[in-house]
Structure 1
């Protein structure tokens, strides 16, 4: 008798699990994503934006600059050639391969690397990005961004066009109740100057950005907070008078943009150059949106919009959905002049654009009932009555496809009608065509409407007319 132990086949079985913070998009989710992307892409292209693709992996210095001191959690990668490189794989990371954490820095590299690109350069890009942040509900380490940007234009018309694109994208998706809120870094710089806080403006803007979460009382408390210790350099320690001035600024609100502009003029007076520069930008944008007949219900000046102001240099935009504000911003962006300074010293190339949150937007569209969840793109399933009649079924598939209908031939091993109808139901295929001996003899076909649960014996012409009426094709 052999002394060898039997092999445990389970030892070679690998559990089909995902890494934390990553996810699969099964057909239903992938199809919804595709539909939203295609809809928005058409809007982008209607304004003349062209596609751009960049590698998912970049040189570390391209993404992070010449420093190892950065505050982003990133993914590094390296090349390993099997078990002989095990020691190398365990050594310190000395390679330059880094997964991108956004699409903007790669865009800057492209602009610097290809100076002959016509300016203004208008591009859109959709792609995966990776961030090594702690996974939590709704936040992943790998997710898609869908950006559009105008590079090389200092004109306020470019900022206005960004708002137009955001507006048209929301309308194309069937959303009517949304609000594009905008502000400008220059107005907030004027506020910082007015309260002698220009040197600590980043912290001031961070506190203002928390307004929705902590309210005016919380903002005032944060502004006046004293340092906790000698190392606490985030405390602004404002006097009550200065904190009250910030609160007065944040209370400048009105449904009328003209009222907001008048109140801003009163707040800054005639001597504040930074504030006046920002006021001019808001006036130009407001007038243009009015002239373009974009409804006032879909846009407003909101002085509390302070997102990313350590990054943006001019107007900033945020889009929220009026019916479900808890979703948060679904489309945001702003002006970011100086895009290529990392690559070309002093180039100061202007840029403005926005990014749509695809995942968040899909959740919103589902809640609003504006997008269907389907597991299939198929319009019609053609059944196989038995193998001897499969030629006729294949001919029917071809004819339906030639007439513009996404059509599947049933490819399962179980030819029972129960199995074939079950397949159609599971994939949400709306119509099933049946061709059996009786249909062959009469020159007709059976068309089953899976949603209405109705089956009819029709001529081919009647079948196509029915499909055209039901599917709009």
Structure 2
């Protein structure tokens, strides 16, 4: 039997790595005051289309249920969290919410991304402000620090800045920039990191014009600090440049220095309305590890013109691949103790002891299939300690404690071990 294309099983080691990222995410969320919730994994198709339009059907799993209703599997957490906040008229603002879990996308499977994968996500709802955006970006930087990742850079930009530049390019195919030219321009910029310059010129010169396309590509290649960018291009008349500089200064004030302005970051087409950013391992070509920005247009689509929103989401499997590439290993802790028994007569006593140790919160394994002592010992080789329950010692209310690292053994009073395992098992 085979799984559907793009799906996979997550084995114990993979799931342990996912749980490790989840643990660090939860720690960071608590530090920053984000409350966790899990929006419904199933939404009405119309709700998802409110975010991305009817074209989203090509990228998601959707179907009719038994009541002939069109529904779909969530493809991110942003839609569900925004729908929830928009429906809570009495919700105290600002609201800081986060989620961690699985999402489904009908994309072409690629490295680090199956059709079912895991995301972490935070959203900050309330009055739009530069500091809200700075807060979300700082959270992102601190989370990657907590995960131990190196060479992480957060590239920031502003959608209105890009639009302002586009509208100032002399037109060759049209007398003014209409919605189609603007949309095509954003699509071109969004593909800069994925395709070569020649490929993009060939793809867009017919709709945008050769000279217009060249200027867009030159613009999208500009990156660096504010000082470096001001030496490359006249930004005096470009809308939102001052805003982007103030965001830069706010982040530096928070101690976030792994940032870079990149005019080639636009984050899709549909609902981002201001600041946008993406996170990369600067030493890898794996692609973005996380991305986000301001998306007031989505809260408006759900009928809340009074709420702004800024958020970020990260791909967990892609982050784990990056950790592996950087040599960051998070191995499962071996079992603390294995309880062994010499013969069948000692088996009930071994089971009883294992249960008592577990009640004392000691991770404990015990053989369940009646293997010989030697095979039990082999199976216990990865434990820190083995406790051998043997007739002679048990008659004296003692057990044999064996350190599996150095092989040293000692006889321990059974009752003392049970009543105070920390003193013997280095807990």
TM (norm. structure 2) is 0.85
Residue in 1 aligned with 2:338? 381
Residue in 2 aligned with 1:6? none
The one of 208, 223, 234 equivalent to 1:253 is 223
Residue in 1 aligned with 2:174? none
Go from structure 1 to structure 2 and tell me whether the alpha carbon gap of 1:422 and 1:56 turns closer, same or farther (over 3 Å shift): farther
Residues in 2 aligned to 1:339 and 1:115: alpha-carbon distance in whole angstroms:
16
- Equivalent residues of 1:334, 1:352 under 8 A apart: yes
Go from structure 1 to structure 2 and tell me whether the alpha carbon gap of 1:202 and 1:457 turns closer, same or farther (over 3 Å shift): same
Residues in 1 aligned to 2:20 and 2:352: alpha-carbon distance in whole angstroms:
30
- Equivalent residues of 1:338, 1:348 under 8 A apart: no
Q: Secondary structure at the match of 1:31?
A: helix
Residue in 1 aligned with 2:158? 184
Q: Secondary structure at the match of 1:319?
A: strand
Go from structure 1 to structure 2 and tell me whether the alpha carbon gap of 1:330 and 1:137 turns closer, same or farther (over 3 Å shift): closer
Residues in 1 aligned to 2:421 and 2:87: alpha-carbon distance in whole angstroms:
57
Q: Secondary structure at the match of 2:310?
A: strand
Residues in 1 aligned to 2:425 and 2:161: alpha-carbon distance in whole angstroms:
57
Q: Secondary structure at the match of 1:383?
A: strand
Matching of residue 408 in structure 1 with residue 393 in structure 2: no
Q: Secondary structure at the match of 1:146?
A: strand
TM alignment of 1:152-167, pairs within 5 A: 152-167=126-141
Residue in 2 aligned with 1:236? 208
Go from structure 1 to structure 2 and tell me whether the alpha carbon gap of 1:424 and 1:313 turns closer, same or farther (over 3 Å shift): farther
Aligned residues: 412
Residues in 2 aligned to 1:339 and 1:149: alpha-carbon distance in whole angstroms:
12
Residue in 1 aligned with 2:244? 282
- Equivalent residues of 1:250, 1:303 under 8 A apart: yes
Deviations 1:61-84, CA, capped at 9 Å, x for gaps: 22225999434233335556xxxx
Residue in 2 aligned with 1:333? 292
Go from structure 1 to structure 2 and tell me whether the alpha carbon gap of 1:120 and 1:458 turns closer, same or farther (over 3 Å shift): same
Residues in 1 aligned to 2:423 and 2:51: alpha-carbon distance in whole angstroms:
65
Deviation at 1:311, TM superposition (A): 2.7
Residues in 2 aligned to 1:213 and 1:96: alpha-carbon distance in whole angstroms:
33
Deviation at 1:360, TM superposition (A): 0.8
Go from structure 1 to structure 2 and tell me whether the alpha carbon gap of 1:49 and 1:404 turns closer, same or farther (over 3 Å shift): same
- Equivalent residues of 1:32, 1:371 under 8 A apart: no
- Equivalent residues of 1:339, 1:349 under 8 A apart: no
Q: Which moves more between the two structures, 436-445 or 169-178?
A: 436-445
Deviation at 1:442, TM superposition (A): 8.6
Q: Which moves more between the two structures, 43-52 or 332-341?
A: 332-341
Deviation at 1:204, TM superposition (A): 1.1
Residue in 1 aligned with 2:325? 367
Deviation at 1:124, TM superposition (A): 0.6
Q: Secondary structure at the match of 1:326?
A: coil
Residues in 2 aligned to 1:378 and 1:118: alpha-carbon distance in whole angstroms:
45
Deviations 1:396-429, CA, capped at 9 Å, x for gaps: 435544654322333x21331343244445xx54
Residues in 2 aligned to 1:67 and 1:25: alpha-carbon distance in whole angstroms:
30
TM alignment of 1:249-328, pairs within 5 A: 249-254=219-224, 257-263=225-231, 267-269=234-236, 272=237, 275-277=238-240, 279-294=241-256, 296=257, 298-323=258-283, 325-328=284-287
More strand by share: 2
Matching of residue 455 in structure 1 with residue 407 in structure 2: yes
- Equivalent residues of 1:384, 1:390 under 8 A apart: yes
Q: Secondary structure at the match of 1:389?
A: helix
Deviation at 1:306, TM superposition (A): 2.3
TM (norm. structure 1) is 0.77
The one of 165, 179, 182 equivalent to 1:201 is 182
Residues in 2 aligned to 1:368 and 1:349: alpha-carbon distance in whole angstroms:
40
Residues in 2 aligned to 1:444 and 1:124: alpha-carbon distance in whole angstroms:
49
Go from structure 1 to structure 2 and tell me whether the alpha carbon gap of 1:358 and 1:136 turns closer, same or farther (over 3 Å shift): closer
TM alignment of 1:211-222, pairs within 5 A: 211-216=192-197, 218-220=199-201, 222=203
Deviations 1:240-271, CA, capped at 9 Å, x for gaps: 2x4454344345334xx23135347x5233xx
TM alignment of 1:83-94, pairs within 5 A: 94=68
